[in-house]
Structure 1
Amino acid sequence: MSDAGLKSLVEEELEFEPRVNAAHIGVAARDGVVTLTGRVASYVEKVAAEKAAQRVRGVKAIAEEIEVRYPYDGARSDEEIAMRAANVPEWNMSVPDAVKVKLERGWVTLSGAVDWQYQREAAESAIRQLDGVIGVTNAIALKDRPKAADVKKTIEDALKRNAALDAAAIDVMVTNDQVRLSGKVHSWHERRIAEQAAWSAPGVKAVDAKISIAA
């Protein structure tokens, strides 16, 4: 696919995404690498734009340079954001109390230790929706858990059950609690599905996804 063709497809996907004002986002493409620039009104919109670009077939990597600029009435102090963030575990059952929050000029750093990867993702997802947040660093650690008898088989079975994937095209290698995925898929979305399947296996503490995107 040409650079111009890929640029056009990404722009169309941004227009299609209802959470994104595509008029405020610039797109450039070169050799499968897409660069997003511009300004958005919230961190949620910034993440939505990046995910929209990831869904496009042919995108191999994304350089995300979008800046969050809240309207004046949407600005929040670090103290106010921190107070709202502290209440997240009360209304989101997927986020445990062990998650800690640190604020610095609108940038949130999450820390602590949880049992599952989905809890790390749920905490980040909940925090980035708060008004005033301009970025999130997810430093939440995973606790040591008993190893599954066969983590490799657990992951491979999960891949085979997913209709959106060609499981035979993905190789799974497990060393202790580390998982390495390799192979080739047709889109960034399929790559993400495979990575999530690996994270879902009990005992997994790190996933190295070396899966390439087919041209």
Structure 2
Amino acid sequence: MTPTATFRISPRDFELANSIVDVIRRDPSLCTEPVCVDVRDGNVTLRGTVSRYAAMIATCAAAEAVPGVCGVTSDLTVQIPGPLRRTDDEIRDAALAALKWKACLPPGSVNVCVRDGSVTLLGQVDWSYQKRLAEQVLEPLDGLTSICNKLCVSDRQVEMEVLRRIRTALQVAAQAQADAIEVEVRDGTVYLRGRLPCISGRAVACSAARGHPEVRRLCDELHVTT
């Protein structure tokens, strides 16, 4: 059975659904999966069953890559065929090997729990990319039905991300303050006008203006608002 699209939809959604189906059919690893594509106002819902967890991930990625798609919801179910089935212990061993040799994570840093083909990752990694990588290297494993990634990222990573967010916020605030200042120059005299939210911003603006070698006089007409 090949992927199909629903038909009682608007012409635009119908065209979008067919485009998604065409993309899936052209992929040799997905063309035989019985996937149904439903589109409503550009929002895609994928239904049906797939034979591998990797096929479910690839199907969603294929739909998301089609121009015009607003969002993708997966109602796909992974049903492992007999030849690809593995015991939970076999899946766990394969997962640990993949984490060690493909994700290059130190042994013991990630705890792998498997129940009925569903994998849960527990533990802590140093960087956020390692958390993503740990999940990615497990996706192709045979017998896998789902992945629940509960890995935590170290405090060092969080500190760096929080600092970056603070710097970005300060840059945005500084840009907003700079945009609020009107600058006029007449015969070497600089006139600063506008409204700023704090005294420190006013002081910085005046100091920067005075520091220009061609500025002979500064006329501060800025106002600080609370």
Cα separation, 2, equivalents of 1:59 and 1:173: 31
- Indicate yes or no: 2:147 matched with 1:144: no
Please give the per-residue CA displacement for 1:36-68, whole angstroms capped at 9, x wherever unaligned.
112211111111001000101121121211111
- Indicate yes or no: 2:68 matched with 1:58: yes
Higher relative contact order (CA closer than 8 Å, sequence separation 6+): 1
SS in 1 for 2:112: strand
Count of aligned residue pairs for this structure pair: 157
Cα separation, 1, equivalents of 2:118 and 2:161: 36
> Equivalent residue for 1:2?
12
Please give the per-residue CA displacement for 1:66-85, whole angstroms capped at 9, x wherever unaligned.
11122211111111111221
Structure 1: state its 5+ residue gaps: 155-171, 175-215
Equivalent pair of 1:46/1:66 in contact (CA under 8 Å) = yes
Structure 2: state its 5+ residue gaps: 1-10, 171-226
- Larger displacement relative to structure 2 (4-13 or 43-52): 4-13
**Ranges of 4+ aligned residues in structure 1 off by more than 4 Å:** none
Equivalent in 93, 106, 119 of residue 117 of structure 2: 106
Cα separation, 1, equivalents of 2:28 and 2:154: 37
Equivalent pair of 1:11/1:22 in contact (CA under 8 Å) = no
Cα separation, 2, equivalents of 1:2 and 1:12: 15
The structure with the largest alpha-carbon Rg is 2
Percent of aligned pairs sharing the same letter: 31
- Larger displacement relative to structure 2 (11-20 or 47-56): 11-20
- Indicate yes or no: 2:137 matched with 1:133: no
Please give the per-residue CA displacement for 1:68-126, whole angstroms capped at 9, x wherever unaligned.
12221111111111122122233114434312111111110111111112211111111
TM-score (norm 1): 0.65
Equivalent in 12, 15, 18 of residue 25 of structure 2: 15
5 Å matches for 1:70-89? Answer: 70-89=80-99
SS in 1 for 2:140: coil
SS in 2 for 1:147: helix
Query: 1:23–1:101: structure 2 CA closer, same or farther, 3 Å change rule?
Result: closer
Q: Which residue identity lines up with residue 3 of structure 1 in the other structure?
A: D
Aligned-pair Cα RMSD in Å? 2.4
TM-score (norm 2): 0.62
Q: Which residue identity lines up with residue 132 of structure 1 in the other structure?
A: G
Equivalent pair of 1:9/1:56 in contact (CA under 8 Å) = yes
Equivalent pair of 1:96/1:119 in contact (CA under 8 Å) = no
